[in-house]
């Protein structure tokens, strides 16, 4: 009779015993934190509220409203199954960028981490905003010129 296989975590190179949903406790907790962070960001994009409250006046609120504008444009294009004139073939990716921007804004609003973490959050947000700036200039999100349309 075959020896029963040990149930290991489904995460790459993890040899811990699977506890919940084929994951060890540590990886399950990480995925759950990530899911909650994305849910909070999506809620902020849809409602303009973080933890049930509107952000106070300031740069962070203005940035959230800018992200929400892009979010609504990207969602409208995806729902209508049409190409957005600026986002073009990167519309679906823009939705993920908006969620990440909203999550970073939420982290800063909640003051997650110390001063060094705030600089990291600002750097990551600037990187994502650069993608939108490149698209507005008619480039691809990574800053490379778009290929000719006829090809």
Specify if 144 maps to a domain: no
> Mean pLDDT throughout 56-74?
95
Question: Is the per-residue pLDDT at 127 higher than 90?
Answer: yes
Q: What's the rounded Cα separation, in Å, for the pair 140 and 134? A: 6
pLDDT over 90 (residue 117): no
Q: How far apart, in whole angstroms, are the C-alpha atoms of residue 142 and residue 45? A: 24
pLDDT at 1: 61
Q: How many domains does the structure of the chain reveal?
A: 1
Q: Is the pLDDT of residue 3 over 60?
A: no
Rounded mean pLDDT, 9-21 = 88
Q: Is residue 131 part of a domain?
A: yes
Region 82-103 average pLDDT: 95
Question: What residues contact 67, with CB distance under 8 A and at least 6 apart?
Answer: 45, 98, 101, 102, 105
Domain-located, residue 142: no
What pLDDT band is residue 15 in, cutting at 50, 70 and 90?
confident
Is 43 part of a structural domain of the chain? yes
Q: Is residue 4 part of a domain?
A: no
Each residue of 31-61: pLDDT tens digit? Answer: 999 999 999 999 999 999 999 999 999 999 9
What is the extent of the structural domain holding 117? 36-47+56-136
Task: Return mean pLDDT, the chain.
Answer: 90
Asked if the structure places residue 1 within a domain, the reply is no
Backbone angles phi, psi at 74, to 5 degrees: -65, -45
Reported as a single tens digit per residue, the pLDDT across 76-88 is 999 999 999 999 9
> Is 130 part of a structural domain of the chain?
yes
Q: What is the sign, positive or negative, of the torsion defined by CA atoms of 111, 112, 117, 120?
A: negative
């Amino acid at each position: 009779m075959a020896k029963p296989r040990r149930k290991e975590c489904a995460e790459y190179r993890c040899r811990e015993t699977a506890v919940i949903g084929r994951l060890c406790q540590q990886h399950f907790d990480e995925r759950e934190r990530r899911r909650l962070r994305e849910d909070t960001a999506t809620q902020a994009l849809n409602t303009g509220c973080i933890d049930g409250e509107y952000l106070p006046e300031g740069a962070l609120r203005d940035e959230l409203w800018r992200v929400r504008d892009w979010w609504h444009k990207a969602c409208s294009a995806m729902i209508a199954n049409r190409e957005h004139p600026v986002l073009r073939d990167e519309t679906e990716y823009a939705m993920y960028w908006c969620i990440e921007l909203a999550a970073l804004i939420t982290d800063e609003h909640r003051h997650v981490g110390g001063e060094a973490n705030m600089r990291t959050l600002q750097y990551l947000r600037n990187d994502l905003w650069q993608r939108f700036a490149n698209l507005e200039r008619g480039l691809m999100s990574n800053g490379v010129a778009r290929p000719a349309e006829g090809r």
